[in-house]
Amino acid sequence: MIARRTLLTGAAALGLARRSAASEAKVLRVGTQKGAAILMAERQRRGLESLLNPLGIDVRWAEFQFGPPLLEAMRTGGVDIGLVGDTPPIFAQAAKSDLLYAAAVPSGLSAILLPAGSTLQTLRDLKGKRVAFARGSAAHNLTIAAVEKAGLSFSDIQPISLAPADAAAAFEKAAIDAWTIWDPYYALYQTRPGVRVLAQSTDIVPQNSFFIASRSFVEANPAITTKILGEFSQISDWALTHRAEVARLVTDGTGMPFDATSRAIDRSPFQVLPITQDFVQAQQDVADRFQRLGVIPTHITVADQVWLWRPET
């Protein structure tokens, strides 16, 4: 049983669902990231529009380079639901953002990449090196976990905070010693001449992604939120058996090479799941790691901001 102070129970959700139509959404604003395969496929196939337009709800999409700006847009009212990695909601919750974990998505691969000419061989060799990652992203958590796995402290490396596009430019010029990055960027750069993989996320720490929703949107629209998550689950199930088509959709939507998107899509688990105690504990471990290092100022309780999605049958 997941303990939380702010769980929307079935009875509460039913009561909210009975609110007048005036309190319900007329627009759904979806935040996505470059190469987020589930949402790229959803956007291209217009499944949400087919589901929600007949209910009088318009769908608007906004693309972000990575998770923290997406959740900042949610905090200021510009996004209702979006897909992010494990770390952005931790930072957002620490900043008192009123968000809810709505569904879990087991992550695809991330990795620590080495530029051409690097002589590093093990995670311990990162000591004293310039390691780039996007602050507040899943790559931030992976970098810390990798350093700890090597028996080092975070202060033993030179952390370089760079958004993916800026990190890519620095990586190509060997202006950094290592780059922690997720798919599809990982898939794009792993085959570049001389580039090596120091470690993959699966060798370091389990990671998940999450559909995060604005609490105000969910509380006003519990039935619609259930339908939205159901649609995401359906497109995910479809993607499992249509990986080549998903890769083409992502390529069309991002302009990234088909061979890179195919590598990323082929290793994506494609699942959309209700939040369980295991997911909550994994997130709590992330939060505790950042608090221990003083990166976030106070203890947070992940379970306080979980919405219990009950898929329609």
Query: pLDDT tens digit string along 120-169?
Result: 999 999 999 999 999 999 999 999 999 999 999 999 999 999 999 999 99
pLDDT in tens, 155-210: 999 999 999 999 999 999 999 999 999 999 999 999 999 999 999 999 999 899 99
Residue 17 has pLDDT above 70, yes or no: no
Q: Which of 259, 117, 109 is nearest to 178 (CA)?
A: 117
pLDDT in tens, 237-272: 999 999 999 999 989 888 899 999 999 999 998 999
Candidates 3.40.50.720, 1.10.275.10, 3.40.190.10, 3.60.15.10; correct CATH number of 10-106+208-305? 3.40.190.10
Residue 62 has pLDDT above 50, yes or no: yes
Q: Give the model's pLDDT for residue 24.
A: 72
Q: How far apart are CA 158 and CA 110, in angstroms?
A: 20
Q: Which residues pair with 62 in a beta bridge?
A: 31
Q: Give the model's pLDDT for residue 272.
A: 96
pLDDT in tens, 270-305: 999 999 999 999 999 999 999 999 999 999 999 999
Residue 18 has pLDDT above 90, yes or no: no
Q: Give the model's pLDDT for residue 34.
A: 78
Global pTM reads 0.88
What are the structure tokens assigned to 15, written together?
């009561």
Domain locations along the chain:
10-106+208-305, 110-203
The DSSP line for the chain is ----SS---HHHHHHHHTS-GGGS-SEEEEEEETT-HHHHHHHHHTHHHHHHGGGT-EEEEEEESSHHHHHHHHHTTS-SEEEE-SSHHHHHHHTT--EEEEEEEE---EEEEE-TT----SGGGGTT-EEEE-TTSHHHHHHHHHHHHTT--GGGSEEEE--HHHHHHHHHTT-SSEEEEETTHHHHHTTSTT-EEEEEGGGT---EEEEEEEHHHHHH-HHHHHHHHHHHHHHHHHHHT-HHHHHHHHHHHH---HHHHHHHHHT-----B---HHHHHHHHHHHHHHHHTTSSSS---GGGGB-------
Residue 8 has pLDDT above 70, yes or no: no
pLDDT in tens, 25-41: 799 999 998 778 999 89
Residue 14 has pLDDT above 80, yes or no: no
Contacts of 271 (CB under 8 A, 6+ apart): 105, 106, 236
Class of domain 110-203: alpha beta
The reply to whether 10-106+208-305 and 110-203 are identical in fold is yes
What are the structure tokens assigned to 33, written together?
């990231």
